[in-house]
Structure formats: structure tokens, C-alpha cells
């Protein structure tokens, strides 16, 4: 089986993973895999079905029955759940508040990890999430772990949500990110952590262009990409 190249980008919420991964994939001509969107899609489906989100078996049934696909180029990627475009729906505060719970379940993660690995067999990929370099792609060709101070991340999240037409405040996002950081780093299944062979990049004082350039430079240095 041909081994395609995988670049794994991990980090906490609003550290710049999605934007950096998306733009890097576009620049490289790679597929972009937004694993966070996959867990958000399962969460949205669970919310719409009205299940008890504390019931792992019920969440697993939702994950088993949901069909998730991506359409379009990295810079204009559409998330399709059960044939429906949910690109905006999965970014609402309602999903934000519940996705950590749903994505913490071992059974849900097993379903998503299997799908993520299948997608990586179709071509070169930039994959971003929280366990790309530690669990999903432990043999990734390049691993990058993005960090940023929480104040920077709260401002970024506000701007992101405003881009989706959703109103929020920096104070609300500080509280939300603090809670999510704690939950994601302490969960039993696939906790957020830096892989031992990952390169850490602190993006606190960087523009988007600077973040992408740093990742591009690493890809050229480590993978021989021209």
C-alpha cells in the first residue's frame, strides 16, 4: 500500500490549528482534515436527536449512524453530515458547550479515528485536532503542536464566531476556553498533549501568515518539500 505523507497539527482550542492547517494544506496541495468538525458533527446530531449527552452508549449509536464527508478545497471546505451542509451549524455556542463531552467517549473516538485513518489512505494530508500526533497518526511525517496564551485565543475565538455571524464576548470565551482546556487535558481517552517528537510553536504574537510560514518552513526542512 502506498504511504501518503501526513502532517499532524495539534493544540488547544483557538490556538490557530484550523486556519494554519487549512492554509498549509492549500499551499502544499494536500487534503485538509478537520477532525474537530467531525466531533462537532456527531455532537450536533446528538443534540438534534435529543439524547442524554452523558449516556456514552447513546452517543456511540449516534456516531455509528452519522455519515460525515468534506467537500471543496481546503480554504472553502464544506462539512456535510448525512447529506446536509452543517459547516455553520457545528460552530454554534450550543455545540461548543457539548463537544468536549461527546468527544471524550472511547466508543465515539474509535469510530472517528477509524474514519480519519481511512481518509489518510487517499492522499497526502494535513490533519488537525487534539490527538493527531499521539493517537491517530503516531507515525506522521511531521508533527506540530500549536500553543498560544488564553487571552489571545479568546480574542481569536470571538473573531471566528463573529465571522459565522454569532455574537459573543472575550469574557465568555475566556471562561469557555478555560473549562475546555481542563476537560480536554484531563479526559481519560486521548487527552490533549504534545507528542514527544512534535515541534511546538507559540503563536501568541504571530499573524496568520507568520504561523503558516513557520509551518511551511518546517515542512520544507523536515520533509524536503520544495
pLDDT digit string, tens, across residues 43-83: 999 999 999 999 999 999 999 999 999 999 998 999 999 99
Domain membership of residue 221 (yes or no) is: no
Flag whether 1 is in a domain.
no
Domain that holds residue 153: 6-216
Which residues are bridge partners to 199 per DSSP? 144
The grid cell for 167 is 455574537
- Minimal CA–CA distance to 204: which of 153, 144, 143? 153
Picking from 167, 187, 172, the residue whose alpha carbon sits closest to that of residue 12 is: 187
User: Does residue 204 lie in a domain region?
Assistant: yes
Instruction: Work out the percent of the chain whose per-residue pLDDT is above 70.
Output: 99
Residue 117 has pLDDT above 90, yes or no: yes
Give the whole-angstrom CA distance, residue 28 versus residue 134: 23
- Residue written as cell 518552513? 217
What is the arithmetic mean of pLDDT over 21-29?
95
pLDDT of residue 160: 85
Instruction: Answer whether residue 161 shows pLDDT above 90.
Output: no
Percent of the chain with pLDDT over 90: 85
Residue 110 in any domain: the answer is yes
In the chain, the number of structural domains is 1
Structural domain includes residue 224 = no
Predicted pLDDT of residue 9: 98
In the predicted structure, residue 34 carries a pLDDT above the cut 80: yes
Q: Could you give phi then psi for residue 60, rounded to 5 degrees?
A: -65, -40
Name the phi and psi angles at 144, rounded to 5. Answer: -125, 135
Q: How far apart are CA 58 and CA 72, in angstroms?
A: 31
Mean pLDDT of 172-195: 92
- Give the CATH number for residue 204: 3.40.50.300
Residue 226 lies in a domain: no
Q: DSSP secondary-structure letter at 134?
A: I
pLDDT tops 90 at residue 89: yes
CB-count exposure of residue 44 (10 Å: 0-12, 13-18, 19+): buried
pLDDT value at 2 more than 70: no
Residue 223 lies in a domain: no
Average pLDDT, the chain: 94
pTM of the shown model: 0.91
Is residue 225, in this structure, part of any structural domain at all? no
Which of 17-21, 92-96, 163-167, 199-203 has the least mean pLDDT? 163-167
What is the per-residue pLDDT for 32? 96
Please tell me the predicted confidence (pLDDT) of residue 1: 45
pLDDT score for 105 = 97
CA distance 136 to 93: 27
Q: Give the mean model confidence (pLDDT) for residues 14-25.
A: 94
pLDDT for position 222: 87
Amino acid at each position: 500500500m502506498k504511504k501518503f505523507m501526513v502532517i499532524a497539527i495539534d493544540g488547544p482550542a483557538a490556538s490557530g490549528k484550523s486556519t494554519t492547517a487549512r492554509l498549509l494544506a492549500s499551499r502544499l496541495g494536500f487534503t485538509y482534515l478537520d477532525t474537530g468538525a467531525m466531533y462537532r458533527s456527531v455532537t450536533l446530531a446528538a443534540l438534534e436527536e435529543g439524547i442524554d449527552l452523558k449516556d456514552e452508549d447513546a452517543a456511540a449509536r449516534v456516531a455509528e449512524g452519522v455519515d460525515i464527508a468534506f467537500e471543496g478545497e481546503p480554504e472553502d471546505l464544506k462539512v456535510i453530515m448525512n447529506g446536509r451542509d452543517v459547516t455553520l451549524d457545528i460552530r454554534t455556542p450550543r455545540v461548543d458547550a457539548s463537544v468536549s463531552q461527546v468527544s471524550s467517549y472511547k466508543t465515539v473516538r474509535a469510530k472517528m479515528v477509524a474514519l480519519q485513518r481511512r481518509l489518510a489512505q487517499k492522499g497526502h494530508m494535513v490533519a488537525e485536532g487534539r490527538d493527531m500526533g499521539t493517537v491517530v497518526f503516531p507515525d506522521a511525517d511531521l508533527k506540530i503542536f500549536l500553543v498560544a496564551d488564553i487571552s489571545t485565543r479568546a480574542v481569536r475565538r470571538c473573531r471566528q464566531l463573529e465571522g459565522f455571524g454569532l455574537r459573543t464576548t472575550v469574557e465568555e470565551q475566556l471562561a469557555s476556553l478555560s473549562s475546555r482546556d481542563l476537560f480536554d487535558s484531563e479526559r481519560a481517552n486521548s487527552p490533549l498533549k504534545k507528542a514527544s517528537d512534535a515541534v511546538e510553536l507559540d503563536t501568541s504574537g504571530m499573524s496568520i501568515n507568520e504561523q503558516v510560514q513557520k509551518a511551511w518552513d518546517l515542512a520544507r526542512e523536515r520533509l524536503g518539500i520544495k
